[in-house]
Chains A and B, each alone.
Chain A
Amino acid sequence: MAFEFAPAIAALPFVSFLVALAFGDRMPKGGALAGILATAGSLLLSLWVFLTVSGGSAYVHDIHTWTVLDGGSVLNEITLHFGLLLDPLAAMMLLIVSLIALLVHVFSLGYMNDEGETGLPRYYAGLGLFTFSMLSFVMADNLLMAFMFFELVGLCSFLLIGFWFREDGPPSAAKKAFLVTRFGDYFFLVGVVGIVATFGTSRFAVGQGAADAAQAFPVMAAKALGVTEGTVSLAIPGGMDPQLWFTILGLLVLGGVIGKSAQFPLHTWLPDAMEGPTPVSALIHAATMVAAGVYLVARMYGFYLLSPTTLGIIALVGGFTALFAATMAVVKREIKQVLAYSTISQYGYMMLALGAGGYVAATFHLMTHAFFKALLFLGAGSVIIAMHHNEDMWDMGGLKEKMPVTYWTFLAGSLALAGIFPFSGFWSKDEVLYEALVHGLGTVGTQGTLLLVAYAFGLLAVVFTGFYTFRMVFLTFHGEPRTDTAKDPHGVRWNVKGPLVVLGVLAAGIGLVNMVPVKKLLGGAEIDFLHKWLGGPTALEAQTSVHHYADVLLHDAAGYSAGTLAGGEVGTVLISAGVSLGLAVLGALLAYRLYAVPEPVEHTEKLGSVKDLLYNNYYQDEFQVFLAERVTMPLAKAADTFDQGVIDGVVNGTSSVSLFSGRRIKRVQTGVVTNYALLLTLGFLVLVVAMAVTGGWF
């Protein structure tokens, strides 16, 4: 029953988009109310779907088939369609996205309406379309549909980041976000085409009672490799080894993921995206755009598990990005910049978990991160309102007494981000690192070493995370006010505090849904609810359930096995949790020593040239500009020369010849009608003579 209403989850924000666009300027609050109602409706429906999925059912349903292609003898028919896939993963993500979209809409009342911004209908229309795209992306049952909404999400981020298009920064940041993610999406598109051409389908899963021919592509791939029983006919180009070909396809799709989830080396757009309104940053970083990449890998995880090489790359990129971004966050002056780099870093952790075979860990971190990062962004938004849109942390200080609600909720989010027990981030980050550690220890060969290297990156990033998080907290809220604005901040209203409190409670407590370490320690207490829940309905048991991933594919296809340190499993859990918590506390204490004083000074100055390097983001932007100017530009110039010289030369030459000959031949046309008559007569005579000769009259 709930499933029949599922399309409305996405349709409601779309309606609010249309309403805000058409009537927003005549409505009170510039269309915000429509958006709030629509996202609240989506939230209720998502909750209903969530409860129905918890009851053990799942839903795979084709909504609209737009074309059926002839796939030849090997693939038969290829259908391209819109469809819904509602399994535990999708249901969880729907809930997160609609909740955060609702809170962001409410918060926008305080951040945009109360601050007297103009162009609000455009803003709320953008938010509605953004929510619609992400919800549709989450529900997609095939890769092609996912790609279409993935692109739409990118478009919406472009529109919203560039919301203040009259200033200099935002339009350029919007363009950068659009182009950099588009660069990744180009590979994704090629991957989608490759997958459809190989398998004849791009479905993630098929429902019960579907035709025999209809299969999910990860399942077909597993059969083709002999991991699971069954025979399939695939069109692999050039008789290539299936394993190699699946790795190539996986890496192509991963291109889109790296762009959207801002992983190294395509992360540069994300810090610039801070030019957009703060509620938009919260939506982009917590629930939509950036989450889409990681969600996509989780969605087709059955396919990635078949390729150990791809998994290794995912783990390494993720671990490296986690550390790389965390180091840059240490020296930033602006509160939103710190949060931007922490987002990159946290998505790195999710990628690390996925690469290390920790499907539940990644999903778990995706969820907790969505809550605490939305909280931190909205908290930062609250601070920015209070500071009259000054984002520099060195101009703040002492806001703790002035805005207690913001302070305490922000603190909860920071503790979660730093991974301090028992806040949500601790549980999920610990599980990510634990998965990387045990699979690194247990897997033999390069793969295991790779995972351990990625684990080391991740572990090191924990210290930096603890440090930059609390540097941000202490600089913003503690000490003495450093400017007049900070002495007398602008107040915030219920529409700012409300979302903060809701998210604060979630950020503090949501980790309790998957207390794996506690379960392992107590032995037998069944408190890893998320893990059980992702096991999901029996209908999709052999397709997208965590049992299929963890018990079958992880060992048989990816070749991962779990190892332990001293003290067996319990010992390993304790060591892993202890080390990550210890390092987080170490980072936090360092920040406390340096910055929790009445008059903090810029200690990072002591780093000297290292600080410059970090402050300038390892000169990544400059490197990319260098690539564009010194590599791409000469290539483009050479191509231009070839185009202008050779291609156009041939075309122009042809036209010159015709022009020249035309200029000569046109002299035949004298304009004297008698001449024309003569030519006609002569021509006729020539014809007659020719016919006479060939016809044999003479």
Chain B
Amino acid sequence: MAVDVTYYLVLSAGLFCIGLAGILTRKNALMFLMSVELMLNAANINFVAFSLQWGNLTGQTFALFTMALAAAEVAIGIGIILVLYRNFDDVDVTDATSMRW
């Protein structure tokens, strides 16, 4: 019993918007990281849903790659956050405004 693909897309879009809202409203860098994960997973859901729809495994393979990539991204992100904390004694992204003109 297959679920209609539209539901997956709506779920994905919702997830993406939650992530986007997190990035635009939160100040905590850790929250940023989590929001980015949400957005990436929204994309993954799309991949898998379309893969199922068209009976093609490529999308699922891509989803696996994206997960690996996300893990790497988190590693780097946490590194950045550590440095941020060391320099500004906080993980508030609105404090770190010195990288400009």
Binding site for B on A (CB under 8 A): 666, 669-674, 677-678, 681
Contacts and interface: CB of A to CB of B under 8 A. Distances in A.
A208 B43 CA distance: 85
Contact of B20 (A670, A671, A672, A681): A681
21 contacts: A666-B100, A669-B100, A669-B101, A670-B97, A671-B96, A671-B97, A671-B98, A671-B100, A672-B93, A672-B94, A672-B97, A673-B32, A673-B93, A673-B96, A674-B24, A674-B93, A674-B94, A677-B23, A678-B24, A681-B20, A681-B24
A662 to B, nearest CB: 9
B101 A666 contact: yes
B99 interface: yes
Contacts of B97: 670-672
A671 B96 CA distance: 7
Contacts of A674: 23-24, 27, 93-94
B65 to A, nearest CB: 23
Contacts of B100: 666, 669-671
Contacts of A677: 23-24
Nearest to B32: A673
B71 to A, nearest CB: 22
B74 to A, nearest CB: 17
A681 B101 CA distance: 23
Interface residues of B, number: 13
Contacts of B93: 672-674
Contacts of A669: 100-101
A661 to B, nearest CB: 14
Contacts of A672: 93-94, 97
A113 B60 CA distance: 93
A677 B35 CA distance: 12
Q: Which 9 A-B pairs have the closest CB atoms?
A: A671-B97, A671-B100, A669-B100, A666-B101, A673-B93, A677-B23, A672-B94, A672-B97, A678-B24
Contacts of A670: 97, 100
Interface of B: 20, 23-24, 27, 32, 93-94, 96-101
Given A671-B97, A672-B94, A673-B32, 4 more contacts: A666-B100, A673-B96, A674-B94, A678-B24
Contacts of A671: 96-100
Nearest to A673: B93
Contacts of A678: 24
B4 to A, nearest CB: 22
A23 B100 CA distance: 61
Give chain A's interface secondary structure class: helix
Contacts of B94: 672-674
A678 B20 CA distance: 9
Contacts of A673: 32, 93-94, 96
A256 to B, nearest CB: 58
B58 to A, nearest CB: 25
A677 B39 CA distance: 13
B41 to A, nearest CB: 18
A172 to B, nearest CB: 53
Q: Specify which of A666, A670, A672, A678 lies most central, judged by the most chain B CB atoms within 10 Å of its CB.
A: A672
Nearest to B93: A673
B57 to A, nearest CB: 29
A203 B98 CA distance: 71
Contacts of B20: 681
A674 to B, nearest CB: 6
A608 B93 CA distance: 95
A681 B20 CA distance: 9
Contacts of B23: 674, 677
B31 to A, nearest CB: 11
A289 B100 CA distance: 65
B53 to A, nearest CB: 21
A672 B24 CA distance: 11
B96 to A, nearest CB: 7
Contacts of B101: 666, 669
Nearest to B27: A674
A363 to B, nearest CB: 76
Contacts of B98: 671
A666 B96 CA distance: 18
A672 B23 CA distance: 12
A153 B99 CA distance: 61
A526 to B, nearest CB: 94
Contacts of B32: 673
Nearest to A681: B20
Nearest to A663: B101
Nearest to B35: A677
Contacts of B27: 674
Nearest to A666: B101
A684 to B, nearest CB: 10
A553 B56 CA distance: 94
A677 B32 CA distance: 11
A683 to B, nearest CB: 13
A678 B27 CA distance: 13
A670 B99 CA distance: 9
Nearest to B97: A671
A678 B99 CA distance: 17
A261 B98 CA distance: 71
A674 B93 CA distance: 8
A669 B97 CA distance: 10
Contacts of A666: 100-101
A669 B94 CA distance: 13
A242 B8 CA distance: 89
A670 B98 CA distance: 9
B56 to A, nearest CB: 26
B97 to A, nearest CB: 3
A658 B101 CA distance: 15
A674 B100 CA distance: 14
A598 B94 CA distance: 106
B80 to A, nearest CB: 11
Nearest to B20: A681
Q: Specify which of A670, A674, A678 lies most central, judged by the most chain B CB atoms within 10 Å of its CB.
A: A674
A669 B98 CA distance: 11
A629 B71 CA distance: 78
Nearest to B94: A672
A677 B23 CA distance: 7
Contacts of B24: 674, 677-678, 681
Contacts of A681: 20, 24
B27 to A, nearest CB: 8
A261 B101 CA distance: 64
A561 to B, nearest CB: 86
A666 B100 CA distance: 9
A674 B101 CA distance: 17
A673 B26 CA distance: 11
A672 B27 CA distance: 10
B61 to A, nearest CB: 27
B76 to A, nearest CB: 15
A673 B93 CA distance: 7
Nearest to A669: B100
A39 B29 CA distance: 85
A673 B31 CA distance: 13
Nearest to A667: B101
A358 B91 CA distance: 99
A276 B44 CA distance: 88
